[in-house]
Amino acid sequence: MNGYRVDDQGNQVSGIPNGAVAVHGSGVLSSYADNGRFAESVLARQVAGKTLGEAIEATRATLPLGSVEIFAWLLLGDPTLRVD
């Protein structure tokens, strides 16, 4: 996820990091609208001060039992990340 850049020869270019430190989203084919609402809720909670993991769990807690997003939403990264 947190990769690096390479030049046209395929050599790593030092000092130029790129890539994501965390990625979250649905791991299964599901509704774009539902996924959008879930992601917006997670972001709102992060902006309000929750960590990424706390924001995802808080959003899951608001969904009806059996909702696809409860089981399908995946986080690849550090759940303790905060938006600064």
Q: Output the pLDDT for position 13.
A: 75
Q: Output the pLDDT for position 3.
A: 63
How many Cβ atoms from other residues are within 10 Å of residue 78's Cβ? 12
What is the rounded distance in angstroms from the CA atom of residue 76 to the CA atom of residue 17? 18
Q: Output the pLDDT for position 53.
A: 96
- Chain segment 36-76, per-residue pLDDT in tens: 999 999 999 999 999 999 999 999 999 999 888 889 999 99
Domain ranges (residues) in the chain: 24-84
